[in-house]
Amino acid sequence: MKRSGPLLTLLAGLLVGLFMLSLNATTGEKATSSYVKPSPSTKASASTAPARTSAPPSPSPSRTPVPEGVYTGRTDDDSSAVAITVRDDKAIAYVCDGHNIESWLQGDVKDDGSLRLTGKGGASLDGKVKGTKEIRGTAHVGSGSYAFTIGRAKKSSGLYRANSTVAGAKIEGGWIVLPDGEQVGILKRDGKPSPAPKIDPETGAVTVDGQQLTARPVTPLT
């Protein structure tokens, strides 16, 4: 009779274990769980967050091509004449008062239709195409500044230059033929300036000290 005590204890333990297993199976409980249900505020912030957008590329500068040709005219103060020849995105200019002030300048034409030309002695010219028929700007020659607005030249006007030797003297001449037929130019003999004689705009013929020379149209490539 004394041996029945341990046997009853073992059976009681087995019954308790079976009861606990059947209880877990019925309720579906799990020992541990790592899942955390998101709160409504978390869902709202995730759905309303704005999407990142990349900044649009900066637009490239618009091109304002300068029509090729020769532009001539007088300065705003009527003291001098200005001529600019444009070709292949290059430009050459001549500023002249017809007496003793002159300058040859050259440089590039930029995509926005502006040009910055430079010459000897610190001379410079800044201009900008306006529409398709004129250039406005300012020339700085010597100690003077000359604002101008010049138009695209017709066949009768233009820019000419002559280089030669006459009676042992070095001849350098520059001419601007304006739309009304007026000519403004300087002729240098061994570097000494004087008003230039008239040329024939059709042929470029000009007589210097009894000798006939030919003044030729000026382009950035000549």
Average pLDDT, the chain: 82
pLDDT at 89 over 50: yes
Percent of the chain surpassing pLDDT 90: 60
Cβ-Cβ contacts under 8 Å for 87 (sequence gap 6 or more): 68, 219, 220, 221
Tell me the pLDDT tens digit for each residue of 129-146.
Answer: 887 789 999 999 999 999
Q: CA 155 to CA 141: how far, in whole Å?
A: 28
Phi and psi at 137, nearest 5°, equal: 180, -165
pLDDT, residue 32, reads: 47
First to last CA, the chain: 136
pLDDT of residue 205: 96
Greater pLDDT, 30 or 56: 56
Residue 128 pLDDT > 50: yes
205-208/183-189 β-pairing: unpaired
8-state DSSP, 114? E
Residues 6+ apart with CB under 8 A from 124: 105, 116, 117, 118, 139, 140
Calculate the alpha carbon distances from 87 to 26, 149, 154, 221 in Å. 96, 19, 16, 8
Residue recorded with tokens 């300036």: 193
Global pTM value: 0.71
Query: Which band of pLDDT confidence, cut at 50, 70 and 90, is reported for residue 66?
Result: confident
pLDDT, residue 51, reads 55
pLDDT in tens, 200-219: 999 999 999 999 999 999 98
- Characterize the bridge pairing of strands 158-166 and 216-217: antiparallel
Q: What are residue 40's phi and psi, to 5 degrees?
A: -55, -35
DSSP-based three-state secondary structure for 124: strand
DSSP 51-102: PP-PPPPPPPPPP-PPPSEEEEEEBTTSS-EEEEEEETTEEEEEEE-SSS-E
User: Tokens at residue 84, please?
Assistant: 């600019």
Determine which of 79-83, 153-157, 162-166, 171-175 has the lowest per-residue pLDDT on average: 153-157
Please name the helix (run of DSSP H) or strand (run of DSSP E) that holds residue 26, with its range, or none: helix 4-27
